[in-house]
Amino acid sequence: MLFAAILVLGIGTYTMRLGGVLLRERLTLSPALQRLLPMAAAALLAALAGTATLMAGSGFAGIARPAGVAVGALLAWRRAPFVVVVIAAAAVAALLRLAGVD
């Protein structure tokens, strides 16, 4: 059962990955749509980042995680190197939790 479920999830995910790529080749995209697609991708990624920052399940994620991400986002905005952004975000969240703020 577990095996079949993972297989279906894997095949479905691969089909969507390849499907998007093949659709792009079969369809001639208008310039408007060509501009739209990267925007759609940016919206999905931003929403993934936003929900992963602020929400835990269906509730609010607390303080430590959003604070860590905020520090990381600020550093990214100031064009800090990628690795600094990631480590700073994790460190701030970890230190806040160590201090009892969650």
The span from the CA of 10 to the CA of 8, in Å, is 5
Any contact of residue 101 with other proteins (CB under 8 A)? no
Query: Per rule CB under 8 A, is residue 19 in the interface with other proteins?
Result: yes
- 99 belongs to the binding site for other proteins (CB under 8 A): no
Helix (H) or strand (E) holding 68: helix 64-77
- Binding-site member from 14, 30, 31, 63 for other proteins (CB under 8 A): 14
Report if residue 46 touches other proteins, rule: CB under 8 A. Answer: yes
Binding other proteins (rule: CB under 8 A), the pick from 28, 30, 31, 83 is 83
- Residues 66/53, Cβ–Cβ less than 8 Å: yes
CA–CA gap between residue 49 and residue 89 (Å, rounded): 13
List 30, 31, 37, 101, residue binding other proteins (CB under 8 A)? 37
Q: Which of 1, 63, 99, 101 binds other proteins (CB under 8 A)?
A: 1
CA distance 87 to 102: 18
